[in-house]
Amino acid sequence: MDPRTYFAIFCWPKSVYWGLLLVSLMSLHVAYGDTKVVGYIPAYKNVIAISDATDFSKITHINLSFLNPNSAGVFENGATPTCMSGISAADIAYVVQKAHGAGVKVLASLGGGVIPSCAGNWQSLLASSRAQVVNNIVQFVAQHNLDGIDVDIEGALLTSIDNSGNYTPFIQALRNALPANKLVTAATATYVGGMVPISSLPYFDFVTLMSYDAIGPSWGTPGVEHSSYAQAVSHIQTWHARGLSKDKLVLGVPFYGYGFGSYASDYSFAEIVSQFGVNAAQADVIGAVCAGCSYITYNGLPTIKRKTELALLEGSGVMIWELSHDAQGSHSLLAAIAGVIAGSPTDPTDPSQCPAWVAGQNYFTGDLVSFEGGYYIAEYDNPGYTPTISTYFWEPVPASRCETTLPGADPILIQAESYSNMSGVQLEGTTDIGGGQNVGWIDAGDWMAYAGIHFPASGDYRVEYRVASINGSQLSLDLNGGAIQLGARDLPATGGWQQWTTVTQTVHVDAGTYSLGVYAQQGGWNLNWIRISAL
């Protein structure tokens, strides 16, 4: 920012500043730039009602799902889709008109996780009639004034088409047949047999990762969460390793959850908040996550915010399945995503983007830096002040972006290498998300201490450790050089020194500022970061 711009902004009266701030927060869509927020609307629901309930200023793309051909490879009879249950040509026109009026693109999504009985055999059609299928898709896009096609052919069907040598040629032909201003995107899983082939990636404008459904009503390992933060990190790592670039990677997040035991099999996020209270919006689990237990697994507001930050750091946006599941008002997950995007600096843990008074300093001498509704706000009231540092802070920044723990703020993130003292360990470069360094060469009896860690209130805290270990190990946590012991945590075998996972521990801490210690009860593990959250 040019210093003259800085001077002009902060010389405004406070009322003018807040007025402009309100305008900037209301104009989130303009601020998105190349950031993507992709929302699915199922055709088998009331697409008009869903569209009317959705704030289009907070999204960039709509995927109408799902479109399939009939047995002859035809997608519409006149203008009516032949196999897109529950939607009419008039419904599509309504969504397209509403979306285009808000600057939002609309795509039709092909396939789906379960192919309906009205559909033809995709594998046979792409083997014998690929050119005809592609031509019919192009006609469907033109007929309905769509902005492109999302390919959501999944699982065993995807694998069989690819094994027959027909998946990438189909995507290439579709890309070549559609006008250059039309999009071709894909949704993909991240398990062997469910991933779009690497050879197809160059033909997609972007690819959304379905980072959810690790467990569901009839699949998965009992006693796990269906869409954890660690899972999102792992999926992103996999796709970067497969060659998917940051600008093409979009992280999928769920607006729904699954229930087990005495609970219903599935819930929208709106139902979770309605049935289990507003506190449920701040959690990811209701009940106890264990095999044979009764629990609901979903993503609450804090995790959606963290995943959005991750998506901006390692990708180009967020994908949502699906928009009708969202809660309204202050518990809206879509609003939480938009809030992170609107206020996000480049690096979600870059302290230069945060008020330095958090670390015991004044950010600018004479400035007022306040904490308002989860945001840090800097105001300026001295027209004669000349800035003396090159970092400017004038826009509201979400507290979740700053390394601090304040009432109402999101977790504190401690990079493992930022210790104030240690014994026996060394640093090395890490291949984990975000890069940088990790602490390694940890033997039994080694330790790291982190001074000035503030716990704002007495109570329970969740401590997350980002660790890697070939054979598994054990650490313990303490305060003030071991004067207060917080307990031990077993570490799983991850299979490699740079194969990372996140483990958690719940501790009780009295309010205060401490030196936090991590002690190696056993050796043979690496540490990348620690995250502390109030429960």
Task: Tell me the pLDDT tens digit for each residue of 254-294.
Answer: 999 999 999 999 999 999 999 999 889 989 999 988 889 99
| Ramachandran assignment for 62, one of left (phi > 0), alpha (psi -120 to 50 degrees), beta (any other) | beta
> Which has the closest alpha carbon to 413: 390, 393, 436?
436
Q: Are 213 and 227 in contact (CB under 8 A)?
A: yes
Q: What is the pLDDT of residue 408?
A: 39
β-pairing verdict for 36-42 and 397-398: unpaired
Mean pLDDT for the chain overall: 83
Tokens linked to 467: 């660790």
Percent of the chain whose pLDDT exceeds 90: 64
DSSP characters for 435-458? -SEEEE---TT-EEEEEEEEE-SS
β-pairing verdict for 426-429 and 437-440: antiparallel
**Which domains, ranges and CATH numbers included, belong to the chain?**
36-255+302-343 (3.20.20.80), 412-534 (2.60.120.260)
Distance (Å, rounded) from C-alpha 302 to C-alpha 143? 41
The letter for the amino acid at 380 is Y
The length of the chain, given as a count of residues: 535
Beta strands per DSSP E along 341-483 = 368-372, 375-379, 397-398, 412-415, 421-423, 426-429, 437-440, 447-455, 459-468, 473-479
Establish whether the linkage from the previous residue to 66 is cis, with ω within 30° of 0: yes
Q: What is the pLDDT of residue 32?
A: 60
Q: What is the pLDDT of residue 488?
A: 94
Distance (Å, rounded) from C-alpha 122 to C-alpha 143? 22
Q: What is the pLDDT of residue 33?
A: 65
β-pairing verdict for 105-112 and 61-67: parallel
| C-alpha dihedral sign at 122, 125, 130, 135 | negative
Distance (Å, rounded) from C-alpha 210 to C-alpha 192? 14
Predicted structure pTM score: 0.63
Helix-then-strand count for the chain, H and E: 13, 28
Report residue 251: phi and psi, to 5°.
-90, 125
| Ramachandran assignment for 290, one of left (phi > 0), alpha (psi -120 to 50 degrees), beta (any other) | beta
β-pairing verdict for 375-379 and 368-372: antiparallel
Distance (Å, rounded) from C-alpha 364 to C-alpha 369? 9
The letter for the amino acid at 412 is I
pLDDT tens, position by position, 112-167: 999 999 999 999 999 999 999 999 999 999 999 999 999 999 999 999 999 999 99
Distance (Å, rounded) from C-alpha 122 to C-alpha 68? 9
Q: What is the pLDDT of residue 395?
A: 40
> Which has the closest alpha carbon to 155: 224, 210, 237, 225?
210
Q: Are 349 and 406 in contact (CB under 8 A)?
A: no
With a cut of 70, list the residues of the chain below it in pLDDT: 1-33, 343-411, 433-434
pLDDT tens, position by position, 164-198: 999 999 999 999 999 999 999 999 999 989 999 99
Q: What is the pLDDT of residue 391?
A: 31
Distance (Å, rounded) from C-alpha 490 to C-alpha 350? 30
- Kindly give, in sequence order, each residue whose CB lies less than 8 Å from that of residue 235, ignoring residues fewer than 6 positions away: 190, 209, 211, 251
Q: Are 60 and 17 in contact (CB under 8 A)?
A: no
β-pairing verdict for 473-479 and 484-491: antiparallel
> Buried b vs exposed e over 522-531: b needs ≥16 C-beta within 10 Å?
bebbbbbbbb
Other Cβ atoms less than 10 A from the Cβ of 313: the count is: 16
> Which has the closest alpha carbon to 364: 1, 10, 41, 125?
10
